[in-house]
Structures are given as C-alpha cells and as structure tokens.
C-alpha cells in the first residue's frame, strides 16, 4: 500500500503496537475457534513485525469458554525471538498455570469502576488488589514481567461517567505493585477526543507517560481519533486487535477493539514507525475472519482486499487479451506462410 507520510510535530517517531486479537478479540466471539487455528493465527501474527502478541488468558473456562485451551495454545505456538507473548492471569491459579506453560509475561486487569469490577471479576476494586498482589510477588520471584490493565477509564456500562481521579488512583496502585506498564481501556468505546485528552493530562501530572498505553474500543467510531490525541499527548504504546475482533463479555453493547490494520494505515500515513507489514497483517486478519465466518471490521483491510481483487481481475483480463492477441498473430502468420508456399 503506497502512502505519502506526513510527519506531525509532537508525534512520536515510533509506536509499539500490542496485538490483543488472540485474547481480547477471541474471548468475546460467539464462535469458538479450534486450538490448531488459534495457534496458526498467532504464528501468522508473529510474522507481521508486531512486537507484542497477547496470546491467551488463563481464566476459568466456566466463565470464558473461548479461553479454555490456554495451556495448549501457549505450548503450541512457534515463538518468534523478537516477539513478546503475554497472557492474562487474574489470580494465582491462573499465574501458576501460565508459568507451567512457559509464559514469561503476564497481565492483570483492574477497573476504575466499582460496578464493573464486581461484574467482571466478582470483587471490589480494593479486593482486586489483594488478588493481584501475590501474582505480582510471584512474578517478581520468577522473573516474569507484569502488565496492568485498567478497564472503563472513560465510562462504565453500569455507572456511566467515571471520575478521572479513580483512574489515576488505580493506575498508581498497579504501578506500585510492580506493573511495568498500564494499559488504559475504554472498554465500552464511549470516549471521545475531549475526555481522552483531559484524562491523559491528569494522569501525566502524576504518572510517567512512558508507563502508559491506550486501549480503545470502536463502538462510537472514535478510536482512531482518540489514538491520535493520545499520541500527541506523548503515548507511544497502543493496543489493537486485527480485523477489529472483540468486545467485552461483561459490557453489553461494546463493539470490537480498534482494528490493527486501521491503526497501522494511519500511522504509516503519519510517518510513524511500527515495524509492521500491513499486507501480512491483512492476510492474518483474513485468516481469522474466515475461521470465524465473519467479515473483517477493519476498513483498511476491506479496502486493501478490494484493491487486490480489482488488480487480480485486471491482470486476468490483460493475460486473456494478450493470449488472444498472440493467437490472432499466430493465425495471421500461418495465413501468410500458406500464401508463400
């Protein structure tokens, strides 16, 4: 895909993309993807240049059946030396299982909303920290990195608006517990440019910006605009999901994550380095979309695939025309030869 790059002053020169499709994406899909296809999906993503592929979640299959094969997935993928493969571990049982599977980076997830915390993990915000503390301690003892998530940073499906102060406090506590980075999740995709900028500026006053990442859902079509604002505020780590997979099983109405293809297309146009091959990314998105029997939610992917089909049709027509011309020329040559005999 050819694009002119238009660098903007204040924009980071490079962005780290965290691909969450295999975990956050597939956990909310109605169709359960067979384990071999999940493994192949992750292996394809590993070849695109993505630096991080969140591969699975070690949670109870009773509550999230789509992640019931987490151990098999973690053991079955082909790990690329330049790719990190974190897994979600909400408690010690999940962490121990992940450690057994050879996982060297885990993620924990809290919420800025009390109601969402109760619905999502069955406890209050303060109680969630008590669950996370032993995970962080065990991770530190085993040399395992820990990433933190904060859900509902711009709005909650049960409480409505969420106070920025709550987001700041939860973020600081997760950092104090040992998380190297905090991903700020707009779980229901309600955020827009103004609230996003306001939240980030309040966070930056108390938290180093290089410890923050953003995670936008695209329910209201605002994800790319919010990412742009985040980049202008100094954020250089962005979560996304190939083909726009996902949503949230505990947030009714939340659509999928922002599509990785769309984010890469935007960043390419801004002259921001990602290291990601967009064509290979589109191929990976097509692979998992076909496995799910659904259309990709990525506008960029749809446009690129449409262009591929058009180009293939033009090539086919050109080849057919060339063959006909060659046939016509051959017939004429034969006629001339008969006349000369």
Q: Please check the confidence at residue 142 and state whether its pLDDT lies above 70.
A: yes
Look at residue 340 and tell me whether its pLDDT is greater than 80.
no
Q: Is the pLDDT of residue 36 over 90?
A: yes
State yes or no: pLDDT of 3 exceeds 90: no
Summarised one tens digit per residue, pLDDT across range 76-95 is 999 999 999 999 999 999 99
Would you say 162 and 156 are in contact if contact means Cβ atoms under 8 Å apart?
yes
**Percent over 90 (pLDDT), the chain:** 80
- Lowest pLDDT segment from 21-35, 51-65, 233-247, 323-337: 323-337
pLDDT at residue 309, as a whole number: 85
The predicted model gives 140-146 an average pLDDT of 98
Residues annotated as part of the active site: 248
Q: Report the pLDDT value the prediction gives residue 243, as an integer from 0 to 100.
A: 97
* Residue 265, both tokens: 């297309």
- For range 158-170, the mean pLDDT: 96
Q: Which residue is listed with tokens 């090539």?
A: 315
pLDDT of residue 45: 98
Q: What is the pLDDT of residue 334?
A: 55
Q: What is the mean pLDDT of the chain?
A: 91
Which pLDDT tens digit goes with each residue over 230-277?
A: 999 999 999 999 999 986 555 555 568 999 999 999 999 999 999 999
What pairing do the DSSP bridges indicate for beta strands 56-57 and 52-53? Answer: unpaired
Higher pLDDT, 128 or 317: 128
Instruction: Report the pLDDT value the prediction gives residue 26, as an integer from 0 to 100.
Output: 95
According to the model, what pLDDT value does residue 256 have?
82
pLDDT per position as a tens digit, 101-130: 999 999 999 999 999 999 888 899 999 999
Q: What are the φ and ψ backbone dihedral angles of 170, each rounded to 5 degrees?
A: -65, -40
Residues found in the chain: 341
- Cβ pair 23, 106 in contact under 8 A: no
Average pLDDT over residues 170-194: 97
- Given a cut of 80, is residue 322 above it in pLDDT? no
pLDDT of residue 63: 86
Alpha-carbon gap, residue 252 to 246, rounded angstroms:
12
């Amino acid at each position: 895909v050819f694009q002119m790059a238009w660098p903007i002053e204040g924009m980071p020169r490079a962005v780290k993309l965290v691909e969450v499709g295999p975990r956050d994406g597939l956990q909310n899909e109605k169709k359960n993807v067979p384990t071999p296809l999940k493994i192949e999906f992750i292996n394809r993503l590993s070849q695109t240049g993505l630096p991080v592929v969140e591969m699975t979640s070690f949670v109870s299959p009773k509550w999230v059946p789509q992640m019931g094969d987490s151990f098999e997935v973690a053991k079955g993928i082909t790990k690329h030396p330049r790719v990190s493969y974190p897994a979600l571990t909400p408690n010690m049982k999940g962490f121990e299982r992940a450690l057994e599977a050879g996982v060297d980076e885990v993620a924990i997830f809290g919420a800025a909303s009390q109601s969402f915390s109760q619905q999502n993990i069955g406890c209050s915000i303060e109680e969630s920290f008590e669950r996370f503390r032993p995970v962080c301690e065990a991770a530190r003892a085993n040399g395992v990195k820990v990433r933190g998530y904060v859900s509902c940073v711009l709005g909650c499906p049960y409480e409505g608006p969420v106070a920025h102060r709550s987001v700041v406090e939860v973020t600081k506590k997760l950092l104090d517990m040992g998380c190297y980075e905090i991903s700020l999740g707009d779980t229901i995709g309600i955020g827009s440019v103004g609230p996003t900028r306001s939240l980030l500026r309040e966070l930056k006053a108390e938290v180093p910006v290089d410890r923050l990442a953003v995670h936008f859902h695209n329910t209201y079509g605002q994800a790319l605009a919010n990412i742009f604002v985040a980049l202008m505020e100094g954020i250089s780590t962005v979560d996304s999901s190939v083909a726009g997979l996902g949503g949230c099983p505990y947030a009714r109405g939340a659509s999928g994550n922002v599509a990785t293809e769309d984010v890469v297309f935007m960043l390419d146009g801004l002259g921001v380095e990602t290291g990601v091959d967009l064509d290979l990314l589109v191929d990976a998105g097509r692979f998992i979309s076909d496995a799910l029997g659904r259309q990709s939610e990525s506008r960029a992917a749809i446009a690129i695939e449409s262009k591929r089909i058009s180009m293939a049709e033009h090539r086919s027509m050109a080849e057919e025309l060339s063959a006909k011309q060659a046939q016509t020329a051959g017939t004429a040559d034969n006629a001339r030869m008969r006349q000369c005999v």
